[in-house]
Amino acid sequence: MITRKRDVDQVKKLQSIFPVTALLGARQTGKTTLAKQLNAQHYFDLENPVDLTALENPALTLSKLNGTIVIDEIQRKPDLFPVLRYLIDSNPKQNYVILGSASRELIRQSSETLAGRIGYHYLYGFNIEETGIDNIDKLWLRGGFPRSYLAENEEASMLWRDNFITTFLERDIPQLGISIPAHTLRRFWMMLSNYNGQIINFSELSRSFGISDTTARNYIELLEGTFMIRLLRPYFKNIGKRLVKSPKLYFNDTGIFHSLLSLNTTNQLINHNKLGASWEAFTLFNCIRILELCNEEIYFYATYSGAELDLFFLKSGKNWGIEIKYQDAPKKTKSLHACMTDLELDHLWVVYPGDRDYILDTNISVISIMNIDRIKSVISQ
């Protein structure tokens, strides 16, 4: 059992501030397990026919309850939001935790109805802080979905992920009211695996797949809204240079990425031409999670003259940068120095898979992925 104390503490903190807390994340990331650690007095699972029937008259059922009330898979019953607003305004003894796996639509619906009454927490798969630094290669290959990571062996892990992808496409997407043929979205998703870690060109992508730009954007929005991929925004504050202004695409879970590429073992991954993209996505995810960065704080930076930075973020009123390298011993480059100057960085870290930290230059250092938590102590000062 891997405990997720940080996530539990953050949800409890939101509960102390808001009458409704939304716990959002992809299916099978452990939202239900986490919710059951909150000592809720009442629990409703909207995939359970009995609970779904009980909430056919939600005001009547819920008005009689006090304490913490968990409602799982709330995206199946969006008409609950107006009822929740009425109930929490009428009964201050109630506190709701709602769980969902489709962020964009849930946030829109809940924020419109519960403005000022709801806080949000995102639950992703395991990170290296939770699984331990001795298991980095295992986590990288299998990804962070609990059942995949904790599987008995590589074959069982791969089988779980393959079935997860099928279930996601054939059941979960239709349940969101989206009528895209499963085989079409699967082929599009597989095509996106070629863009992992790259700047996305929607026109090129749509031409390659034989669909319109609008349709390509809609498919990407769907996969982003269900936590399968991340679009990292470019930073293009007026710096006086020609900057890249299209987003970068990343898979949130490298295990899913590897399944789409049919990579079953570490040896297959090491010898694949997408090794660097996989490592970049894996390291980026862990940096964001361990440093507790929110979407509004993170960017990438790229100029047409060749300066690039994988992760630029603002924290504690200062500018910071992270470059990700799958190399034995990263060295100084013109790009690193250009990014230091352009972005006025207080410090720039190059994260790599080695085990030794060392200094490259003034305010530029190389750090092992095993020591990402050391960055946190610097940026919080």
- pLDDT of amino acid 1: 67
Q: What is the mean pLDDT of residues 207-231?
A: 92
Half-sphere exposure of 378 (CA within 13 A, CB side): 17
pLDDT category of residue 198 using cuts at 50, 70 and 90? very high
d(C-alpha 299, C-alpha 141), whole Å: 25
- pLDDT of amino acid 2: 80
What are residue 46's phi and psi, to 5 degrees? Answer: -75, 0
Integer angstrom CA distances of residue 288 from 25, 33, 100, 145, 311: 15, 23, 21, 17, 9
Instruction: Quickly list DSSP for 321-362.
Output: EEEE--SSS----HHHHHHHHHHT-SEEEEEESSS--EEEET
d(C-alpha 24, C-alpha 218), whole Å: 21
68: pLDDT strictly greater than 80: yes
pTM of the model: 0.92
| Percent of the chain at pLDDT exceeding 70 | 98
- pLDDT of amino acid 103: 66
Q: Is the dihedral of CA 192, 194, 197, 201 positive or negative?
A: negative
The three-class DSSP label of residue 117 is coil
d(C-alpha 112, C-alpha 119), whole Å: 13
- pLDDT of amino acid 107: 77
- Indicate the burial class of 178 (C-beta count within 10 angstroms; 0-12, 13-18, 19 or more): middle
d(C-alpha 210, C-alpha 193), whole Å: 17
**What residue type is 184 in one-letter code?**
T
DSSP label at residue 170:
I
26-53 b/e (C-beta count within 10 Å ≥ 16 → b) = bbbbbbbebbeebebebbbbbeeeebee
CB 307 within 8 A of CB 301: yes
d(C-alpha 203, C-alpha 352), whole Å: 33
Q: Within the chain, how many helices (H) and strands (E) appear?
A: 19, 14
User: To 10 degrees, what angle do helices 275-290 and 372-379 make?
Assistant: 40
**Structural tokens at position 329:** 């011993």
311: pLDDT strictly greater than 80: yes
335: pLDDT strictly greater than 90: yes
- pLDDT of amino acid 197: 95
45: pLDDT strictly greater than 90: yes
DSSP label at residue 172:
I
What domains can you pick out in the chain, each with its CATH number?
5-122 (3.40.50.300), 128-379 (no CATH)
Q: What is the mean pLDDT of the chain?
A: 92
361: pLDDT strictly greater than 70: yes
pLDDT tens-digit readout, 228-281: 999 999 997 766 677 778 899 999 999 999 999 999 999 999 999 999 999 999
Integer angstrom CA distances of residue 259 from 29, 161, 221, 290, 343: 17, 7, 21, 25, 37
- Of 129, 88, 120, nearest in space to 2 by CA: 129
Question: Out of 72-81, 161-170, 317-326, which region has the weakest mean confidence (pLDDT)?
Answer: 72-81
d(C-alpha 147, C-alpha 5), whole Å: 19
- pLDDT of amino acid 29: 93
d(C-alpha 332, C-alpha 223), whole Å: 36
